[in-house]
Structure 1
Amino acid sequence: MVNTILVTGGAGYIGSHACVELLDSGYRVVVVDNLSNSKMESIKRVQAITGKSISFYQADIRDKQALTDIFTKEAISTVIHFAGLKAVGESCEQPLNYYHNNVYGTLVLVDVMSNANVKRLVFSSSATVYGESKQAQYSENFPLGAINPYGRSKAMIEDMLRDLSAADNIAKAKASWKIALLRYFNPIGAHESGKIGEDPNGIPNNLMPYVSQVAIGKLEQLSVFGNDYPTRDGTGIRDYIHVVDLVKGHIQAIAALEGEKFKWGGCNAYNLGTGRGYSVLEIIETFERVTGKKVNYKIAPRRAGDLAECFANADLAFKELNWKAEKNLENMIADTWLWQVENPQGYT
């Protein structure tokens, strides 16, 4: 019997790439997405890439009745939960939107899952759940201390899911919750076909789509937020991971939830990153070298809620999920640029 995976936010950047890998791995895929920051065209292109179909529902995860109807209609075995707002800066300006969408939305989702007795969940968390540390390389056992509402919304959800799992253990439930919390570092890149990629509404919040839109002439100039951080060139350092490597981590997480490691349930966190950090200026220099395009930029003041340096220790994901990132920065940039050139206006 083919397992059916529900992908919330499956029309989005990471979600659409996950759908490709799931379909190629033999799973049946059901997507629920409200299309607030995504487009239906991405689903059509996923189906074209894979030659397989997706059951799509346009709905908000906060709509309990809509979710209940989907779980009644579809024989779902596992949920990958991507749906949520994700911009750090915006979260500082609109914190209540982030708590309502991300935290309340997840609460509704797991309530519906529990009623349907579907208790395998892969959650799209974030490295922003960590606070500032004297060490730049972050391990899963580091104390949590998110410094912006987006990160705090993810940390709240993690707490909620750990409590949910622990309650099952206390009750010795026959079908215990099996949950993988995947803490992403900075996903970039696109599918090697150039058919799907990151297509943000309006001005991009993330570095790589902004860089590529400046390079192609869609945007005039990149703002580098801060050049006075205590880093090797003064600009912020992050761990950038190819989106295809990232979503392969989700496939490995599903396998782990179905295996011996989670036989008696549990809720475990895993970092997904390369284990290496690049500064903003290093990203710009590498982009120019790989693409041959000039990136016009200016130095701007620091943004609220940004860390100086942050990169992953991903040893636990390798040990327990049998996963590690394989693509390098040049791969990430080349795939980003192909997507940009092939789709200068995104999916529209």
Structure 2
Amino acid sequence: MKKKLLLLLLISTLFINSCSKNIYKGQFFDLFDTFCEVIFYSTSEEQFTEHALELQAEFEEYSMLYDIYKDYEGLNNLKTVNDNAGIKPVKVDKKIIDLLNYSKKMYKKTDGNVNIAFGSVLKIWHKYREEAERIPTIEELKIANEHTNIDDIIINEAESTVFLRDPEMSIDVGSIGKGFAVEEVSKLIESKERDNILISIGGNVKSIGPKLSGKPWSVGIQNPDTDSEKPYILRVMLDDMSLVTSGDYQRFYMYEGKKYHHIVNKDTLMPSDKFVSVSVLASDSALSDALTTALFNMDFEEGSNLVESMEGVEAVWIKKDKEIIFSSGFEEYVIKE
């Protein structure tokens, strides 16, 4: 499954310690149902292309493994696991086992506000969002919600298998999969002693070290008001940090004048209407990804208490009335303009 790699030369030449390096940007398409960008320094376009293709191959593997919609020849992915719910255990790659184990930990940490077993409910909303003609009934959603017990995901690490005990349940890792993949690929990059890299996949941004100059990367948080001439609500500094944003403007449809987006509350079974955007800063991209979903669904006080209880984690909430609320240390990362 080959993807086209588009290379863009952003800056012609930088001189660092008398060594000439260029900065390049590569874009990969159709990964995690979005596109991926990588930015880093290299002595030549050929060397950049070689390293960028290595990253593309890694992300492509994670994208296929965590896919719940498509089958791939010779590969057991999460769709395979879902298709065999209530039937039999499925032997899977360790990358799936690791993600599921981490997801179970985040379920406990967020009091169930991140639940990869919520797929039966999310599947209904996905169908209605694709049709964009009506909304599901609460009865339909309640029936699906009876099949969202995360303890029914049975992981056998010794056999490297996953079994869904409930035949009506399904896994959906949209709240955590991209962030987990970014974090794991970042660890691989660091093991090869490469740094000064910026990775972005659909709202998940991770910096491995600062820019080559030693200055932090500047990353924008998208303005939830997509009609505004101002594309970013603010910009933050990243240096060995991740920034993940979830918003109601990313995947949604309108019905009878109301917006129905993809972040669904576990209690109401309806798209959460507390905020329009939540962003999380942390060193771990998987953690940031999971927390954006959790915080989007929590009341502000509950979410704020969770963030303040976690070392090295900061967040910013944007309310429907456009009020911006920062956690205690977030503003230290904001670039003053």
- Fold match, TM over 0.5? no
Higher strand share: 2
TM-score by length of 1: 0.30
Structure having greater relative contact order (Cα 8 Å, sep ≥ 6): 1
Higher helix share: 1
